[in-house]
Chains A and B, each alone.
Chain A
Amino acid sequence: MEKVLISFAAALAIGLTAIATAWAQSRIGAAGAGTIAERPEMTGTVIILLAIPETMVILGFVVATMILYM
């Protein structure tokens, strides 16, 4: 039972952060695509903005790893 709960906690840690990242990236990606279409010189900035929410899922991944292995 304990193993199930640990696995469930790890899945929640990565799953919820992945959903949050996906939601944020979908909004930023749509706006970014429009920006690049009008101003291609903004490509670098858009990549940076698009990559920022990934930190959430990376943190979720670290927490999940710690739950499972530590």
Chain B
Amino acid sequence: MIVKMSKLEIIGPRELLLDVLAVIREQGVLHPEPEAHVFLAPEQRAVVHELMPDKNSAEEQLFLESMYSLTSEILELLPRVETRESRLDPSPILDTLAACAEKHLEQCRNWTEQRENMLREREEHERYALLLGTMGEMIGGHEGVEGLDFIGITLRDPSFVDRLRDLLAQLTEGEFTLTSALAPDGTLIGLIATSPAHSSHIKQILSDEQLPELPFPPALADLPLPERIRRVQHSIAAATQKIRDINSELESFARRWSPIYRRIDQWLEERLALLSAATVVQETDMCFVILGWARTDSLAPLAHVMTEHFDGSVVLEELQIKEQDLEQVPVVLRNPPYFRPFELFSRLLPLPRYASWDPTPFIGVFFPLFFGMMTGDAGYGLVLLAAALLVLYRKPAGMLADAARILLISSCFAILFGILFGEFFGEAGGRLLHLKTYLPERSHAVIPMLIFSIALGISHVVLGLVIGLISALRRHKQRKAAANIVTIGLIICLAALLTSLIHPSSWLHRRPVLVLAGLLIPLLILSGGLLAPLEFIKQIGNIVSYTRIMAIGLSSVLLANAANNLAGLTGDVILGTLAAIVLHTVAIILGTFAPTIHALRLHYVEFLSKFVEHGGKRFAPLHK
């Protein structure tokens, strides 16, 4: 259902504007009208205009914005630590805080930069350590093996190792070894050992292949291998210690200052939101004027709070919603608990206009009915019911919870129609359980089911047209109302003709029906225009579209019967049971998706298009 809204006007002295906006945001019930000038009468437009911020307000906003960026960056650089909550009121000491924040930001940036440098250095040294370790393993105890040169490289891709090995074999005629290892950061590192005669050529080739060489620091170049390893390990330990020190300093800073900066950040956010909310306000020379919308049931509490805070200095008045205002009214949907999950399907469509209808209750009534008619199998219904209960048992939230509730309701209808059709995992199951069939068997009664689907389509489309007629009468659109009445009349004539063709009876004469239809066609053109006959043909197409209920139902039952027949053909109890489980699972999955999509389509295209006008504005109240 679309919640009833009220049009509001709040007027008060200009100096109270920010206080009033703060109260409104606290309450979170008022949707300000951005195009408020539309509401004003021509004589009012001369004195009421959009609020122009004065020099002081503009300066304040710029100052607060720059301070907000400072505090946000500080909080981003600081580690998250558990601290007390600050109750500081930043407004009296804003200038001091701004100067302090600049210094603190500089300090935090320095610490972060130092830490990043140290992390980079440690990572580099860890790679050296890996290379040196590999070198140590290769030359073993033969320290200072003469005539051996080592080249370290970073490999982009593990598959490149084999290609490189072939390349090196060609260049050095086999005088090399290539070892690869994975660095702690996941990079693949390669170490080439070869004779000095080949090394310069190899380096040139590596450079051409864009394989970055890992050069050893010059300070380590002339040292013996154990000394090199010791120095590198020492550098890693020193970098780790330095990182630990910086982290500790940042943490202690965060413990002391982050509660204060969090509080300032929050205060700034609220203050800036308040200043930006002021942009939708109108003003006269002495007063501010806020025009907007609120839910009618929230009007009395808002008025009470306003009186309590401003003691009559601020006036809240409910204005009459005029015909031309209806396009501007924001929309809130609120439905009883049974219908609420079906808002999932309504949300797929654009929001309805305020003067239109919420599609949710209609989908809530007819969707499970159509789903049940198409699935129409008590066994499948029970499986879907169990699945829905299982999902709901885990207490899901949001869309999944809504989907599970819809499945729960729809599966109950599938069970009900399954009993009526006498189907339990196909018709064979129903016969096995001696289920009495209250309706014709779907697999054989194709024509009766076709007639039933068309009859259902006629009823649903006529219902849509009747609701469209009520909407047109409410909005005083007489021609639209007349066109709907004539269309309904023509559909009834058509239904009567069909009935007389299928079941000729003595009381139903075709000639008067044809004469009536002939009289209605000119009326249709008069009320709906020259395109009205085409629109009427579209309505017939919409009615025929309901035959999909029979078509999907027929395919569902035939699939279930095929599953049973194939399982029976195996001639083995275990194999047959397994085949039946697999085939019925496929049928259940298909039997869930196809009816859902088709039932939704019948609503979206055939039914709701008759009376729901889309293009409503979402209710977005000012709130904290």
Interface residues of A (CB under 8 A from B): 41, 43-45, 47-48, 51-52, 54-55, 58-59, 61-62, 65, 69-70
> B347 contacts which chain A residues (CB < 8 A)?
44
The contact string, 1 if C-beta is below 8 Å from chain A, for chain B 388-403, is 0000000000000000
Which of A45, A52, A65 sits near B447, CB closer than 8 Å?
Answer: A65
Chain-A contact segment, one of B32-40, B331-339, B542-550: B542-550
Residues A47 and B447 in contact, CB atoms below 8 Å apart = no
How distant is the Cα of A69 from the Cα of B548 in the complex, in angstroms? Answer: 17
Residues A48 and B604 in contact, CB atoms below 8 Å apart = yes
Q: Which residues 532-567 in B have Cβ within 8 Å of A in the complex? A: 541, 544-545, 547-548, 551
Residues B447 and A48 in contact, CB atoms below 8 Å apart = no
Residues B348 and A47 in contact, CB atoms below 8 Å apart = yes
> B215 contacts which chain A residues (CB < 8 A)?
none
Q: Which residue of A lies closest to B347 (CB)?
A: A44
> B597 contacts which chain A residues (CB < 8 A)?
47, 51
How distant is the Cα of A46 from the Cα of B454 in the complex, in angstroms? Answer: 26
User: What's the nearest-Cβ distance from chain B to residue A29, in Å?
Assistant: 13
- Whether A52 touches B446, Cβ cut-off 8 Å, given contacts A43-B348, A58-B547, A62-B544, is no
How distant is the Cα of A50 from the Cα of B551 in the complex, in angstroms? Answer: 18
Q: Which residue of A lies closest to B348 (CB)?
A: A44
User: What's the nearest-Cβ distance from chain A to residue B541, in Å?
Assistant: 6
> A54 contacts which chain B residues (CB < 8 A)?
545, 548, 601
Question: Would you call B450 an interface residue if the criterion is a C-beta within 8 Å of the partner chain's C-beta atoms?
Answer: yes
Residues B604 and A44 in contact, CB atoms below 8 Å apart = yes
> A44 contacts which chain B residues (CB < 8 A)?
347-350, 604
How distant is the Cα of A58 from the Cα of B554 in the complex, in angstroms? Answer: 13
How distant is the Cα of A58 from the Cα of B349 in the complex, in angstroms? Answer: 24
Residues A58 and B545 in contact, CB atoms below 8 Å apart = yes
> B193 contacts which chain A residues (CB < 8 A)?
none
How distant is the Cα of A44 from the Cα of B348 in the complex, in angstroms? Answer: 4
Q: Which residues 575-611 in B have Cβ within 8 Å of A in the complex? A: 597-598, 600-601, 604-605
> B544 contacts which chain A residues (CB < 8 A)?
55, 58-59, 62
Interface size on B, residues (CB 8 A): 19
Interface residues of B (CB under 8 A from A): 347-350, 446-447, 450, 541, 544-545, 547-548, 551, 597-598, 600-601, 604-605
How distant is the Cα of A55 from the Cα of B545 in the complex, in angstroms? Answer: 6
How distant is the Cα of A59 from the Cα of B548 in the complex, in angstroms? Answer: 9
Residues A47 and B604 in contact, CB atoms below 8 Å apart = yes
18 of the cross-chain contacts (CB-CB < 8 Å) are A41-B350, A43-B348, A45-B349, A47-B348, A47-B601, A48-B601, A48-B605, A51-B597, A52-B605, A55-B541, A58-B547, A58-B551, A59-B544, A61-B547, A62-B450, A65-B446, A65-B450, A69-B447
Residues B541 and A70 in contact, CB atoms below 8 Å apart = no
User: What's the nearest-Cβ distance from chain B to residue A35, in Å?
Assistant: 13
How distant is the Cα of A54 from the Cα of B606 in the complex, in angstroms? Answer: 13
Q: Which residue of A lies closest to B541 (CB)?
A: A55
User: What's the nearest-Cβ distance from chain B to residue A14, in Å?
Assistant: 10
> B547 contacts which chain A residues (CB < 8 A)?
58, 61-62
Nearest first, the 9 A-B pairs at minimum CB distance are: A44-B348, A51-B601, A44-B349, A48-B604, A58-B548, A62-B547, A69-B447, A43-B348, A61-B551
User: What's the nearest-Cβ distance from chain A to residue B582, in Å?
Assistant: 27
User: What's the nearest-Cβ distance from chain B to residue A54, in Å?
Assistant: 7
> A43 contacts which chain B residues (CB < 8 A)?
348
How distant is the Cα of A48 from the Cα of B601 in the complex, in angstroms? Answer: 6
> B548 contacts which chain A residues (CB < 8 A)?
54, 58
Residues B551 and A51 in contact, CB atoms below 8 Å apart = no
User: What's the nearest-Cβ distance from chain A to residue B14, in Å?
Assistant: 39
How distant is the Cα of A47 from the Cα of B601 in the complex, in angstroms? Answer: 8
Q: A45-B350, A59-B541, A59-B544 are in contact. List 10 more A-B contacts (CB 8 A).
A: A44-B347, A44-B348, A44-B350, A47-B604, A48-B601, A48-B604, A51-B597, A51-B604, A62-B547, A70-B447
How distant is the Cα of A52 from the Cα of B545 in the complex, in angstroms? Answer: 10
> B604 contacts which chain A residues (CB < 8 A)?
44, 47-48, 51
How distant is the Cα of A59 from the Cα of B546 in the complex, in angstroms? Answer: 10
Residues B600 and A47 in contact, CB atoms below 8 Å apart = yes
Q: Which residue of B lies closest to A62 (CB)?
A: B547
How distant is the Cα of A24 from the Cα of B604 in the complex, in angstroms? Answer: 19
> B446 contacts which chain A residues (CB < 8 A)?
65, 69
Q: Which of A45, A54, A62 has the most CB of B within 10 A?
A: A62
How distant is the Cα of A23 from the Cα of B600 in the complex, in angstroms? Answer: 22
How distant is the Cα of A45 from the Cα of B615 in the complex, in angstroms? Answer: 13
How distant is the Cα of A69 from the Cα of B605 in the complex, in angstroms? Answer: 29
Q: Which residue of A lies closest to B349 (CB)?
A: A44
> B598 contacts which chain A residues (CB < 8 A)?
51
> A51 contacts which chain B residues (CB < 8 A)?
597-598, 601, 604-605
Q: Which residue of A lies closest to B546 (CB)?
A: A58
How distant is the Cα of A65 from the Cα of B447 in the complex, in angstroms? Answer: 8
Q: Which residue of B lies closest to A52 (CB)?
A: B605
User: What's the nearest-Cβ distance from chain B to residue A49, in Å?
Assistant: 9
How distant is the Cα of A69 from the Cα of B544 in the complex, in angstroms? Answer: 17
User: What's the nearest-Cβ distance from chain A to residue B469, in Å?
Assistant: 23
Q: Which residue of B lies closest to A55 (CB)?
A: B545
